[in-house]
A and B are shown apart, each in its own frame.
Chain A
Amino acid sequence: MGNSLNAWSEALAGFYLFGLPLGLVIIAAIPLVFIALYSLTYGVYGERKISAFMQDRLGPMEVGKWGILQTIADILKLLQKEDIVPTSADKFLFVVGPGILFVGSFLAFAVLPFSPAFIGASLNVGLFYAIGIVAIEVVGILAAGWGSNNKWSLYGAVRSVAQIVSYEIPAAIALLCGAMMAGTLDMQKITMLQSGTYGFAHFYLFHSPIAWLPFLIYFIASLAEVNRAPFDIPEAESELVAGYFTEYSGMKFAVIFLAEYGSMFMVSAIISIVFLGGWNSPLPNLGAIALNDWTTGPVWGAFWIISKGFFFIFVQMWLRWTLPRLRVDQLMYLCWKVLTPFAFVSFVLTAIWEIYIP
């Protein structure tokens, strides 16, 4: 089995199209796509179950044991639905919008190190790429909202763009604090610098006394970036019906939905990588009991980063089902008058710490 798989992957690696190593790209992409799809399938399932338990309900129970196949059933249902394009919609933008959104949220997966042995593309500007590529989503949202030719969609799109563009600033500055602590933008290197026998003590969250501030700022800003409560004003269902995807149905809706959960996992993975050690085990070596050594390795690495990602997804859901929604102006107030100044403060303090305290 192992040998045939090797032979298969070697054959694929040797596959060139127009002189491009397409096979290599596919080999890297397959696990990524699987990780992404699994994370979001069970992200959706988790959302339903967690919200259900918070609200004294059971949630999905019918499809499979404890409704575990509910998301798959939902996707199958959405696939079969009629693909409606409103007559007055701008057809090109309407169709292209969800695609851009989906691609934008999935492209960032390329630079996420899922284990010491696996990263889609080990860019030396990985973090910068991850921050930048998320901004593509804005184009998709605007295309979807404008192309729908619906007033609610337009409101949702405009709100969303304003929100994402604003919140990228504190988010990026907060991540820069992490990059400063590491001295590199390479995601794999950032992770490796946080490994050590003391486990969690090496994580950048505990690197300096002010590291919790950029961590918190990035977490709050990432909530806004992926349009999650309490910053879900672009799709505020009680105000804007469904925001920029009001007119979408069937698979296009599913694609938008999956993109949203994909970006949820993506920001959760980024915060785990930059501040919580990525694939590093949080367990310390306790003398002879080498917990850290036992729980380190390629497979353990994937386990740790996915667990950390899911933990942050859980916190996002927890907040969503607890908090009401902010108003547009309050959202902007929080971004420009609270988060951005504090992000600068944490940036300066981190720089001072890095320069003067070895």
Chain B
Amino acid sequence: MQELDTAGLGSVRVTRQSDKVVIIEKDLATEQMVLAMGPQHPSTHGVLKLECLTDGEVITEAEPCLGYLHRCFEKCCENVDYPAVVPYTDRLDYLAGMNSEFAYAITVEKLLDIEIPRRVEFIRVIVAELNRIASHLVAIGTYGIDLGAFTPFLFCFRDREIILGLLEWASGARMLYNYIWVGGLAYDVPADFLTRVKEFVNYFRPKALELCNLLTENEIFVKRTWGIGIMPADVAINYGWSGPMLRGSGVKWDLRRNDPYSIYPELDFKVPVPDGKHSVIGDCLSRHLVRAWEMDESLKIIEQCIDKMPSAEGFNSRSAIPKRIRPKAGEVYGRAENPRGELGFYIESDGKSTKPLRCKARSSCFVNLSAMKDLSKGQLIPDLVAIIGSIDIVLGEVDR
């Protein structure tokens, strides 16, 4: 009789009978299993891959593997003129194209130091906030799916469809708009657009409440998200989190307030942060709640913009657009508050070319996702899904 130790499988006691080895006793040990979650997995929101080391249902380690949607955004930018970068920015965060364009436009305008007509600013803010609502609707809806509630998703998409219809009416495209140009807009908004937007705002308020009743206040939903994936504020800051993720951890940080751009200083809106009563500060539920509250604030912003909108008389949306963009040599970093956090563009110009020498995008999703390893340690698989959902990643922006 002899004892063999097979790697990781526990010890096996065997005996030899003539030339055969007969196992007489097996002391079974459990083994950790590598689980490749994604890139084809329903709840990784695209082509994210998580390599998980699991002990039963418990994740001991999860490593995000990126790059499945890498499209060389930054290299492409170096080879096209400044205005031609705008369509590329749409494809970064394809759920919030207007916001990405907005961030890029204000960055180049900062580099050029040009004045923008006021009506352009108002329209920009309206379409960006509409797109923020659309983006949050996707975030909330897919979060519902991640937790097994399918119906809220379709409610969200029904309402998002109206926003996409409005934006299509203004720009001609449903998702990849190419509407906010450097120095102006592709077109003025159609006549009657603002009335329709106002109608949408009135339509959406009760619908948002319905969504809240169906999903946010659901006992099971709260149980699944309460206290899961808690991120303390200081760690969140160290990771460089931004947007609803950082606000979910209780930090009142919103670039529309803290580093104001466009006409945001003139507008009255709150920066919602969790109060610790509806959720544990920094957990998945807080992040979800922040998004839900933000939709409300966006509606307020849209209403104010419609009221304050300068008239369209003698207005040309392309009047301030430079014929040829050739900035002075220098560098600039411009940033805007996207639905998923801070989207920043770092642009360097050599002063001779009409193309950027370097255009780096600082994407919020990528930074937010980097905390995945910390957040997922020791969680169950269903909780891991809840955490990924609450980070609300768009792989187009993660991989660029």
Contacts and interface: CB of A to CB of B under 8 A. Distances in A.
Contacts of A57: 154
B382 interface: yes
Nearest to B218: A324
A326 B225 CA distance: 11
Contacts of A236: 148, 382
Interface in A307-358: 321-330
B41 interface: yes
B149 A324 contact: yes
Contacts of A328: 57, 380, 382
Contacts of A326: 220, 223-224
Contacts of A82: none
Interface in B205-264: 214-215, 218, 220-221, 223-224
B223 A321 contact: no
Contacts of A321: 150-151
Interface in A46-101: 51, 54-57
Contacts of A330: 223-224
Nearest to A151: B35
B146 interface: yes
B134 to A, nearest CB: 17
B42 A237 contact: yes
A56 B43 contact: no
B382 A324 contact: no
Contacts of B150: 51, 55, 321
A41 to B, nearest CB: 22
B151 A229 contact: no
B112 interface: no
B259 to A, nearest CB: 36
Contacts of A120: none
B148 A230 contact: yes
A54 B152 CA distance: 10
Contacts of B155: 55-56
B382 A233 contact: yes
B33 interface: yes
A238 B146 contact: yes
A10 interface: no
Nearest to B220: A324
A229 B147 CA distance: 11
Contacts of A240: 381
B330 to A, nearest CB: 47
Interface string B127-162: 000000000000000001111111100110010000
Contacts of A241: 41-42
A232 interface: yes
A238 B57 contact: no
A326 B382 CA distance: 9
Interface in A217-243: 229-230, 232-233, 236-241
Nearest to B386: A327
A238 B214 contact: no
Contacts of B221: 324
A327 B41 contact: no
A238 B154 contact: no
Contacts of B151: 51, 54-55, 321-322
Given A230-B148, A238-B148, A322-B214, A329 B220 contact: no
Contacts of A54: 151
Nearest to B383: A327
Nearest to A322: B151
Interface in B304-350: none
Interface of A: 51, 54-57, 151, 155, 229-230, 232-233, 236-241, 321-330
**Closest A-B pairs by Cβ, 3 of them:** A325-B148, A55-B154, A324-B149
Interface of B: 33, 35, 41-43, 57, 144-151, 154-155, 158, 214-215, 218, 220-221, 223-224, 380-383, 385
Given A236-B382, A239-B381, 20 more contacts: A51-B150, A55-B150, A55-B151, A155-B57, A230-B148, A233-B382, A237-B42, A238-B42, A238-B145, A238-B148, A239-B385, A240-B381, A241-B42, A325-B147, A325-B224, A326-B224, A327-B223, A327-B224, A327-B380, A330-B223
29 contacts: A51-B150, A54-B151, A55-B155, A56-B154, A151-B33, A155-B381, A229-B148, A233-B382, A238-B43, A238-B147, A238-B385, A239-B43, A239-B381, A239-B382, A239-B385, A240-B381, A322-B214, A323-B149, A323-B220, A324-B147, A324-B149, A325-B148, A325-B382, A326-B223, A327-B223, A327-B224, A327-B382, A328-B380, A329-B380
